Amino acid sequence: MVVQLGSVLSQIEERKDELIELLTELISFKTPAPPARNTKEAQEFVAQFLNDQGFETDVWDVHPNDPNVVGVLKGTNSSLHKSLIINGHIDVAEVSEDEDWDVDPFIPVVTNGAVIGRGAADMKGGLAGALFAIKLLREAGIELPGDLIFQSVIGEEVGEAGTLECCKRGYTADFAVVVDTSDLHIQGQGGVITGWVIVKSKETHHDAMRREMIHAGGKLFAASTIEKMMNIISGLQQLERHWAITKSYPGFKAGTNTINPAVIEGGRHAAFIADECRLWITVHYYPNESHEQIAKEIEEHLLKVADADPWLRENPPTFKWGGTSMIEDRGEIFPSLEIDPNHQGVKTLADVHEKIAKENTIIDVSPTVTDGGWLGEAGIPTVIYGPGNLQNAHAVNEQVSIEQLMTFTKVMLKFIYNWCHEKK
């Protein structure tokens, strides 16, 4: 079987054009999010591909015209051998009309040892490589004792967590690899949560009443919520600096745990004192923290800030955290993902990478976020490992190196084989 596996691995070089063709076909499906609601055709292609390889497929709409696809290939002795989830998202970053691409972002070009097109790095390269590895294993007639589960999900770019829907549907495994952009590093990640801080007055006043609420003797206990939000923003800046001093995590630059005041909305129009102001914040936190913990820390701090202000003490801020979609309800959560370098899945993947790539494995943390946190939160040991780099993700003329794509495909082929042969 070792000889046979070596023969299959060599086919990746021999059939490089087929791998590239698969990637270019995936890129040609226009699946940017936003606007989203456009992945059905691409997901039908993935489902058919999996069906052709003998998988049983489960396809369901997470949103209209945005279905998830899960393919399950039952192992020949799954009760005794370990199972694997391979996960990736089919949606890609949006493309603005004013972006200066050399070519149409959805008409992929192969040039100078790279494939160029929206999603090449983030992350249709990872999907293509993993699918091609599976195809070669199946064509060679290699049976896997453990279960292999392939998830092509929607919504990652806009926080719609198609992966969370897979977890809710009951899909689980002994290990998971999210084949998202990592430059072939094995990675965990910090987390992200968005939230709204709302300051609201119990009363509404005409703008002519401003003198009575700001000058001595006016006797009107009132305030502009826009001005009071300045106290809140100042409080957030104090907390952000405190976190930068008191918190750290290996692999992250100090102060990576940021609180970004991203959007502010307030007031009715110029004839009113602003009676409501809403601040939309984005919070990055470390892999050893949870979004529930972070939200609690911010709320406790801001309520103390409010208690120091006479008006805010009587009109304290309220909070709305997270959300299921940046499109539908203007909010998102990406749970953090902490990985154990001593987990057998991590060690097996690292060993395969070193043998195939002939270089030391880098185990670190991603400076961005993926759906991997949802798998980890569901109790599935998970890593991020995929081709492409973040310099290309979301970029004009996005591209992935063909050489790196082939290395990734070889690693995934051998890892799938090795892991699904591991005994429980």
Q: Does residue 156 have an active-site annotation?
A: yes
Residue 349 near residue 385 (C-beta atoms within 8 A): yes
Q: What share of the chain is helix, strand, coil (3-state, %, to 5)?
A: 40, 25, 40
For residue 284, what are the contacts with CB-CB under 8 A and spacing of at least 6?
190, 191, 192, 256, 257, 258, 260
Answer whether the bond into residue 123 is a cis peptide, omega within 30°: yes
Query: Can you say whether residue 267 is alpha, beta or left, with left for phi > 0 and alpha for psi between -120 and 50 degrees?
Result: left
Strands (E), 302-355: 318-321, 333-334
Task: Give whole-number Cα distances, 180 to 194, 320, 379, in Å.
Answer: 22, 29, 19
From CA 17, how far away is CA 22, in angstroms rounded? Answer: 9
Are 10 and 142 in contact by the 8 Å Cβ rule? The answer is no
What is the C-alpha to C-alpha distance for residues 366 and 143, in angstroms, rounded to an integer? Answer: 34
φ, ψ (nearest 5 deg) of residue 266:
-170, 160
Question: Is 132:342 a contact under the CB 8 Å cutoff?
Answer: no
CA atoms lying within 13 Å on the CB side of residue 163: 31
Q: Kindly list the distances between the CA atom of residue 162 and the CA atoms of 85, 91, 204, 395, in Å, as whole numbers in the listed order.
A: 14, 10, 42, 23
Q: Is 162 helix (H, G, I), strand (E, B) or coil?
A: helix
Beta strands 363-366 and 191-200 are unpaired
**Amino acid identity at 19:** L
Q: Which of 91, 122, 147, 332 is catalytic?
A: 91
Active-site position among 147, 156, 289, 422:
156
Residue 44 CB coordination number (10 Å): 14
Q: Three-state DSSP class for 379?
A: coil
66 assigned to active site: no
Give catalytic residues, as residue numbers: 91, 156
